[in-house]
Amino acid sequence: MRATLAPSLASALQIGFCAGVSATRDVREYHTTMFSATAFLSASVHTRGSWLGSEKKSTVWWKRANSVAERRRRCSALRLIISPDQRTADRSDQPSSDGSRGVTGSPTVRRRRTKDPFNPDFKAAPRFQEIYPSSEKVYREVVHEPTGERLRVPFRRIYLTNGEHLDVYDTSGPQGYDPHDGLPKLRQRWIERREKRGDPCFTQLYYARKGIITEEMLFAAVRENVDPEFVRQEVAAGRAIIPSNKKALELEPMVVGPNFSVKVNANFGNSAVASNIEDEVEKLQWSVLWGADTVMDLSTGEHIPLVRNWILRNSPVPVGTVPIYEALDKVGGVVEDLNWEVFRDTVIEQAEAGVSYFTIHAGVRLAYIPLTARRLTGIVSRGGSIHAKWCIAHRKENFAYEHWDELCEIMRQYDVAFSIGDGLRPGCIHDANDEAQFAELKTQGELTRRAWAFDVQVMNEGPGHVPLHKIPENMEKQKKWCSSEDGSMGPAPFYTLGPLVIDHAAGRDHISSCIGAANIAMHGTALLCYVTPKEHLGLPNADDVKEGLLAYRIAAHAANLAKGLPGAQARDDAISKARFEFRWSDQFNLSLAPLDAKRHHDEALPAEAAKSAPFCSMCSYDFCSMRITQDIRKFAAENGYGTGITTGMDALPIHPHECESFVQAENEHTKSL
């Protein structure tokens, strides 16, 4: 559970419940509310070993808090108990004089409550130039013929010391805008034209089926270096989606589908015990700089609609949410008091605000809940547990399932895509690929086909915690079940969190999960929801967001290579060439996080001249295999062994005798170890 600073899972749970279950932050995070099926039936919270005492005691403690007011009161009491460090942070909260940013461009930790949610005290935005010192934003211009609209499609151009450059996919969005004003409204004219025409439906699927290549399809095609007609076909077949609510005028369109580059989603959002609007907007800005293709606002704390609105107005990427969180907040956190009308109104409000995809756990059907009874970790999805609790309490079918067609009607008016939730996903290795999980996946397929009938775009969410050998089965079943029966449509894109391939990597779950993510993406998953090092432990800060995203950029790219996407290898080849030719600066600049690469190199060899030395501190001059290879090739060329293999040789930057000072420095360093 991320949503807490609490010392134990048990207390974390209680804090979550204090906020009326709304402190739970589900969707793509697992193991949040550790409800077991029995816990539902007894309507008590199942905790293990508690800071408040025994499991029994904490359950009773909670059960007695019947009224909303009482829950809220206990919540404030808990807040005082659990957040001493937050209060300390409040006191030492003065922005530093240097603009509150360290040398590595990393945001400083600053926690305090937002004073005025209508006019937040935003921090200086993280700067593109600080993070990518040798890069520039460039735009490829293309004209959308049917409308004459000129599109400017962003790329990041990385300049190299040998005069070459490389253009890479760029998610960072327009730079230099005051968050109070929001980003420019890129899609305004596109949408106005459609509204003026009085189109009956605004989804990309609708246009694609009519054979129309929209501005969004063209924009996404340029980003992917593919033919726009191919994008249209993939969207028309339900195999790809372009999440793009017509009210999200700021977003730069992108496409999610197995035939395109693998995308990465970052989650953030405040909770009842931590974070604030300024921090969440900073995490958004930080996420898109580090390559988030989509983001989810999972806020459950104060000011849910306001946090969302600030994020939407400042996001160059599609924003997703889990509307059940806000619906639950509206009924004071009492799950039993939820109903279809509250949920529907929330969905409409969020669609109106510009959310581009909704996680809806409509596949958690009443009949599947008992299937989780023998699980080790029960239902671990927050949204799933809320729906399950409601179904059990009322002995009724999930209202989102019952009213699915009405939801489709709403979605098609805005073009909000469904991200059909996997509320019964496994929360641990023990529960992977079980009956409950696959029962829900089958229902996700049924819901997918119903949405397609309304021209609504769909993707399916997937697990979770799955050991490596059980991953392919997930993908196979999703492909089979989430397609149309006659094979003309689908499969809908799969969107997974991780999966985590082991359970005991707390603190390193971004690594455990990105191993699974690379694997499942290689098999066809189109969108990967990141996991940060804070997973299971607390609410991620901006640095955790960065670590999670970098891990997932690795997973996504590994899959792009495995799938053989055209041009996927260009950046790898460029950095390998720079490495072989000892162009250190280029190696740094071509890597995922240039400043981090440079810092590691400079730890032992900080001198400027070392940036062209034919070795580094790992092997030193004599043992540098790349340097030796170059010698071999030089020798071969001079003495006639082999012909023409001179790549890199001419680039040997300096003669060995010039390296003596580095060798010496390096020897001293070795001795000092």
Nearer CB in complex with ligand NAG: 16/105: 105
Nearer Cβ to ligand NAG (375/601) = 601
- Taking the alpha carbons at both ends of the chain, their separation in whole angstroms is 40
CB of 587 to ligand NAG, least distance (A): 8
Give the count of residues interacting with ligand NAG (CB under 6 A).
12
Minimum CB separation from ligand NAG for residue 460, in Å? 14
Whichever of 146 and 566 has its CB closer to ligand NAG, that residue is 566
Q: At what angle do helices 323-330 and 304-313 cross, to 10 degrees?
A: 150
383 interacts with ligand NAG by CB under 6 A: no
Q: How far is the CB of 597 from ligand NAG (least distance, A)?
A: 7
Q: Which tokens sit at 249? A: 């005028």
x-marked contacts with ligand NAG along 55-84 as a string, rule CB under 6 A: ------------------------------
3-state secondary structure of 130: helix
CA distance 321 to 357: 7
- Shortest separation between residue 102's beta carbon and ligand NAG, angstroms: 15
Convert residues 97-136 into a mask of x (bound to ligand NAG by CB under 6 A) and - (unbound): ------------------------------------xx--
Shortest separation between residue 31's beta carbon and ligand NAG, angstroms: 31
82, 11 in Cβ contact below 8 A? yes
**How near is the Cβ of 590 to ligand NAG at its closest, in Å?**
9
Judged by beta carbon, residue 407 or residue 590, the one nearer ligand NAG is 590
How many CB atoms neighbour CB 334 within 10 A? 15
Comparison of 595 and 624: residue with beta carbon closer to ligand NAG: 595
Cβ-contact 530, 267 below 8 angstroms: yes
- Taking residues 504 to 533 in sequence order and writing x for each that binds ligand NAG by CB under 6 A, - otherwise, the string is --------------------x---------
Q: Which of residues 22 and 589 has its CB atom nearest to ligand NAG in the complex? A: 589
Cβ of residue 586: shortest distance to ligand NAG, in angstroms? Answer: 7
Of 141 and 608, nearer to ligand NAG (C-beta) is 608
**Closer residue to ligand NAG in complex, CB, 144/523:** 523
Q: Please report, as residue ranges, which positions from 573 to 632 form the binding site for ligand NAG (by CB under 6 A).
A: 585, 588-589, 594-595, 598
Nearer residue to ligand NAG within complex by CB, 133 or 648: 133
Distance, in Å, from the CA atom of 362 to the CA atom of 400, rounded to the nearest integer, reads: 5
The per-residue b/e assignment along 284-301, b for 16 or more CB within 10 angstroms, e otherwise, is: bbbbbbbbbbbbbbbbbb
Q: Which is nearer to ligand NAG, 44 or 134 (CB)?
A: 134
What are the backbone dihedrals phi and psi of residue 38, each rounded to the nearest 5 degrees, phi first? Answer: -65, -35
CB of 588 to ligand NAG, least distance (A): 3
Q: How far apart are alpha carbons 432 and 595 in whole angstroms?
A: 39
Nearer to ligand NAG, 161 or 433 (CB): 161
Nearer to ligand NAG, 404 or 495 (CB): 495
Task: Give least dist CB 471 to ligand NAG, A.
Answer: 17
Least distance between ligand NAG and beta carbon 596 (Å): 9
| Interaction residues for ligand NAG, span 159-218 (CB under 6 A) | 161
Among 16, 20, 258, 384, binds ligand NAG (CB under 6 A): 258
Alpha carbon distance 92, 111 (integer Å): 9
Which residues in the 412-471 window bind ligand NAG by CB under 6 A? none
Cα-based distances in Å from 589 to 268, 285, 596, 598, 637: 28, 21, 10, 9, 31
Q: Mapped to the 3 state alphabet, what secondary structure does 224-239 carry?
A: HCCCHHHHHHHHHCCC
Choice from 11, 83, 214, 259 touching ligand NAG (CB under 6 A): 259
| Contact between residue 272 and residue 75 where contact means Cβ atoms under 8 Å apart | yes
Q: Which is nearer to ligand NAG, 166 or 312 (CB)?
A: 166
Query: How many CA atoms lie within 13 Å of 377's alpha carbon, on the beta-carbon side?
Result: 24
| CB of 656 closer than 8 Å to CB of 621 | yes
- The nearest distance, CB 595 to ligand NAG, in angstroms, is 5
CB of 524 to ligand NAG, least distance (A): 6
- Pair 549, 291: CB distance under 8 Å: yes
Sign of CA dihedral 10, 12, 15, 16: negative
The full DSSP string for 380-414 is --HHHHHHHHHHHHHT---HHHHTHHHHHHHHHHH
In this structure, what token pair is assigned to residue 42? 């007894």
Rounded distance between C-alpha atoms, residue 17 and residue 429, angstroms:
26
Task: Note whether 417 and 411 are within 8 A (CB).
Answer: yes
**Shortest separation between residue 127's beta carbon and ligand NAG, angstroms:** 14
Q: Are 182 and 313 in contact (CB under 8 A)?
A: yes
Contacting positions for ligand NAG (CB under 6 A): 133-134, 161, 258-259, 524, 585, 588-589, 594-595, 598
